[in-house]
A and B are shown apart, each in its own frame.
Chain A
Amino acid sequence: MRYEARFLDEAEQARVHETSQRILAEVGVRFHGERALPLLAGAGAEVDLESGIARIPAGLVDAALASAPRGFALGARNPAYDYPVPSPVSRYAIDGTAAFVRDFETGERRYGTRRDVEEGLRVFQAADMGVMAWAPVAASDAPAPSRALHEFVGMLKACSKHGQHELHRRDQAPYLAAALVAIAGSEAAVRARHEASLIYCPVAPLVHDGPMLDAYLDLGDLDLPVMIMPMPIPGTTGPAGLLANIALANAEALSAIVVFQVAHPGRPVVYSSAVGSMDFRSGAYLGGTPEMGIQSGALTTMGRFYGLPATAAGCTSDAHEPGPEAVIEKLITSLPPASAGADIIVGLGEIDGDQTLVLEQILVDNELAHLCERLVAGVDGRAGAELFEDVAEVGPGGNFLAMPATRDAARSGEFYEPSLIGRVALEAWQERGRPSMYGRARERVREILDAPMVDPLPDAVMEELDRILAEADRDLHD
């Protein structure tokens, strides 16, 4: 069976839902910006325009949940990478908008650039467990007013998988719309294919950022899917206690679903979360902890509770260097959401609390993702899997090496064959110069960067995208 892991039982799922409903109805949520409050008031929420707080009744939540589509495909520029959600398997997204990159040549930690966006995504393109691109670093060399556009467009140029990124200002929305139309060929194609989507993070506790929300509501006309990723941290921006923090995150997600569905009923949304914890000795944010894994697993379960596509942050680490600490934390935070059946786990390629991109780490994490997938696939329990007749034939003290079933299994998925992990004997390993996972990953990254870009956009489209970005650079100001 595919193994089962549960982080919330059915009664706890119901408690989380009921608590979230009470939070929305009794405490309310503050909405900044111009568009949300009038929409919510018109839909039946109790809105206080002075404080910006909307109290959302349970009926409005239920209606929003009912209008959100249960499934759709995250399209890709190369249709071979279309990814229907919900998915029977877990796949991965590269982590996003780190401030820093570990320079591939010098090893120096420095601010990210547009070129790093491109190189990170060219490596991610080769990661077979990856289905959704994020802009992996902030493009510090782009003008601040149009930076998010450079990152978004750079991502879509460099990777032909589904692309998801964010906007920070309402006036960025028309440029993004133009870029998406240039790539897809028409507005209808943008709407139909869903090749790009938006990542939306409420501000914990219980606040919606105005410029971002207004921009996303504007882009609802293009039916761009929105992935809603609350980030309360228990003990600071969320109540201490995992269950309480999960209820708060869930309330924030529901409040976002409400506003997006009120504005554009039927607009695709993805239920997600990135709920870490705090280092109580320093106050620092921690993303590589067991609590991160548990909450990702539990919130994936809540997404499924609502019947929505569900993703979660995972594969995260607070280590400042690639190495043992990074892989320990990444596995601790990957397996719970994978076990809970997350459609996508967001986190490939970064360390340092999501603040540093490491190109080799993208491929190392891809290997870890394969290992997790092998675990989740579990024990094959199909009829005959016991191979009783083989046991009877071999009998006490024999061996099964030459049995046909052994050969067949070795050629199937029963034994996972790693690509970066070495399993040779000590002597052979020494003779080969004591290779490591990161060493092998580094060789592969070099090969990828030396090769031509995969699935490049036509020159005319590239020129049009450059023109749109130049216009944004010229027209957008602080």
Chain B
Amino acid sequence: MATLLRVLTDGQVGDVHEQSLAVLARTGMRVDSAQARGILRAAGAEVDEPERRVRFPRALVEASLAAAPRSFSLGGRRPGFSLPMNAGECTLIPDGEATMVYDPVTGVRRASTREDWIAATRLVDSLDEVGAYWQMVTAGGMDPGPGPLVAHWAATFELFSKHVQDAPGSAAEAAWLLELLAVVFGSREAVRRDHPYSVLYCPVSPLAMEAEHTDACLATAGWDIPIAIMPMPMMGSSAPTGLQSTVVTGNAEVLGTICLVQAAAPGTPVIYAPALAAMEPRTGRWGGGSPEHALLGAATTEMGRSYGLPVTASNGGTDAFVPGIQAAAERTLNWLLPALSWPDILIGPGSLGGASTLCLEQMVIDVEVYRACRQLRAGIRPGIGEADVVAAVDEVGTAGDFLAREATRDAVRGGEFFLPGLGWHGAFDRFEAAGRPDILDQAREVALAAIAGHQPIPFPDEVATELARLERRARAATPASGNGMR
């Protein structure tokens, strides 16, 4: 059987749902967007306009949940690429929006540059385990305005040909984005059909939707662009203390947002994606390294699955600022449970210091950790190896060995054994003879080789030409408000 993990009982899942409905009906959410309040009022929500408070009746939440599709696929530019949601598959999406970089050459933590962004994007495009993209690091020094933004988005799709998830910063930015999507993927209909892009929407915890980001999200309505709803309540500060109450807070925020998304365009795909967090109680900081994040990440998957929705699960991160022992311990610890709960998308390799610092070595190490977690999740599969164990044991007899048996060969080739891609797994003598190789050096070599050798799939000429034309038009346009996400 596949390894089965549960961190919430059925009773707790039911309690979280009921409490979430109670929060939405009694406290509601503050919705700063007048457009969103209008949509919700028309859908049956109770709106207190002066307070900008929206209260959600049970019937509205349940109808909105029913309207959200249970299965769809995320596409990409790469031919044949598809990530089916709710289909038993899991892929990685890198951690996002670091402002600093752990320099792979000097080992110094410094502000990020556009070159870092290019390197990181090329690296994740080359990694099979990473199926979806977040902007991993800010491309420092980018000018404001729609022109540079359009150029940046075009470069994103050029360098990364799998699924892209991002967040336009305003409705005006969203308009440019939709135009660009139609160019890159051929048409609005192709975007609707293949879902090559999804919007990341983050309510502000506790229980608020701010205006500009919400309007940007609403601007994509009608394109059938999936919305990943990612509130980030933090236990003890922006969520009440107690893991379960943090789950309730995030769940209520997702459900409230689903009401808005479905009211704006019924049937729009949504991804259940709360990034639940725990405060460091001695400082009030968030670092993501504590084990509560693993429990919260697994609980996220279980709640999303209880609604039959696709899930993005978070794992926190690491408090460490340099790649090494603490980072490895915290990343592994915090990935084990969310990976075993097996969401559709798992966040996110590659960052340090509470997601503040991009680290290419950590990206490679994290992917290796995920591979090991995936093996744990695959569990003990009947039907692998010897068809008749008793007969095989009898044939080998006592004190024999099974090395030369066909079933052994087949099991090795069939994935029954994890074949590490990183670290040293040979004998000590050979380890010494090889100069005691260090996993960080090895990860660095893997990353730099991938960045140097990977060939992104180029745009067809006509797409490149049309994108250049769009960029020129955007550079000539009035700068839009909003800050994008980079």
Q: Tell me the A residues contacting B by CB distance below 8 Å.
A: 1, 3-9, 12, 15, 19, 22-23, 26-30, 53, 109, 203, 205-207, 234-248, 251, 277-284, 286, 289-291, 293-295, 297-298, 318-329, 331-332, 335-336, 339, 352, 355-356, 364, 367-368, 371-372, 374-375, 378-381, 385-388, 390-392, 394-401, 403, 405-406, 408-410, 414-418, 421-426, 429, 434, 436-438
Contact = CB atoms under 8 A, between A and B. Distances in A.
B411 A234 contact: yes
The 9 closest A-B pairs by CB, nearest first: A241-B385, A324-B328, A240-B411, A290-B375, A396-B207, A396-B30, A240-B408, A409-B241, A410-B281
B337 interface: yes
Interface in B238-286: 238-245, 247-249, 252, 278-285
A92 B64 CA distance: 49
Residue in B298, B320, B325, B418 whose Cβ sees the most chain A Cβ within 10 Å: B325
B351 to A, nearest CB: 14
Contact of B416 (A5, A240, A401): A240
Contact of A240 (B323, B326, B402, B418): B402
A205 B399 contact: yes
A280 B412 CA distance: 8
Judged by DSSP, the binding face of A is: mixed
Contacts of B478: none
Interface stretch (B1-9, B148-156, B214-222, B452-460): B1-9
Interface stretch (B160-168, B424-432, B463-471): B424-432
Nearest to B361: A324
A401 B236 CA distance: 5
B333 A408 contact: no
Nearest to B4: A6
Contacts of B411: 234-235, 240-241
B390 A19 contact: yes
Contacts of A321: 436, 438
B8 A422 contact: no
Contact of B400 (A6, A205, A277, A423): A205
A426 B321 contact: yes
Contacts of B292: 374, 414-416
Contact of A378 (B7, B285, B422): B7
Interface stretch (B21-29, B67-75, B80-88, B118-126): B21-29
B182 to A, nearest CB: 36
Given A374-B292, A395-B27, A381 B402 contact: no
Contacts of B237: 399-401
B283 A423 contact: yes
Given A400-B206, A403-B241, 13 more contacts: A5-B6, A7-B380, A27-B390, A206-B397, A240-B417, A243-B385, A332-B373, A385-B243, A387-B241, A392-B23, A401-B236, A405-B241, A436-B325
A101 to B, nearest CB: 13
Interface string B383-407: 0111001101110111111110101
Contact of A27 (B207, B249, B394): B394
Nearest to B18: A386
B444 to A, nearest CB: 12
Contacts of A23: 389-390, 393
B301 interface: no
B431 A323 contact: no
Contacts of A203: 399
Contacts of A19: 389-390
A433 to B, nearest CB: 13
A404 B235 CA distance: 13
B12 interface: yes
Interface residues of B, number: 128
B423 A325 contact: yes
A416 B436 contact: no
Contacts of A205: 393, 396-402
Nearest to B336: A335
Contacts of B324: 323-324, 436
A396 B396 CA distance: 68
Contact of B241 (A7, A318, A355, A414): A414
Given A242-B416, A332-B376, A375-B333, A3 B7 contact: yes
Contacts of A322: 325
B353 interface: yes
A475 B424 CA distance: 44
B346 to A, nearest CB: 16
26 contacts: A1-B9, A3-B298, A4-B4, A12-B1, A12-B380, A30-B398, A207-B398, A207-B399, A237-B401, A238-B402, A239-B393, A244-B389, A289-B418, A318-B424, A320-B424, A321-B436, A323-B324, A324-B327, A327-B332, A328-B328, A372-B333, A391-B23, A391-B207, A391-B249, A417-B281, A422-B319
B11 interface: yes
B456 to A, nearest CB: 29
A245 B369 CA distance: 24
B244 A386 contact: yes
A386 B242 CA distance: 7
A241 B383 CA distance: 8
Contact of A409 (B5, B15, B236, B330): B236
Interface in B2-53: 3-9, 11-12, 15-16, 19, 22-23, 26-30, 53
A234 B385 contact: yes
Interface in B167-182: none
B407 A328 contact: no
Given A240-B412, A327-B332, A27 B397 contact: yes
Contact of A385 (B26, B242, B375, B393): B242
A399 B238 contact: yes
A423 B282 contact: yes
Contacts of A332: 332, 336, 369, 372-373, 376
A259 B290 CA distance: 46
Given A323-B324, A392-B23, A3 B440 contact: no
A100 to B, nearest CB: 8
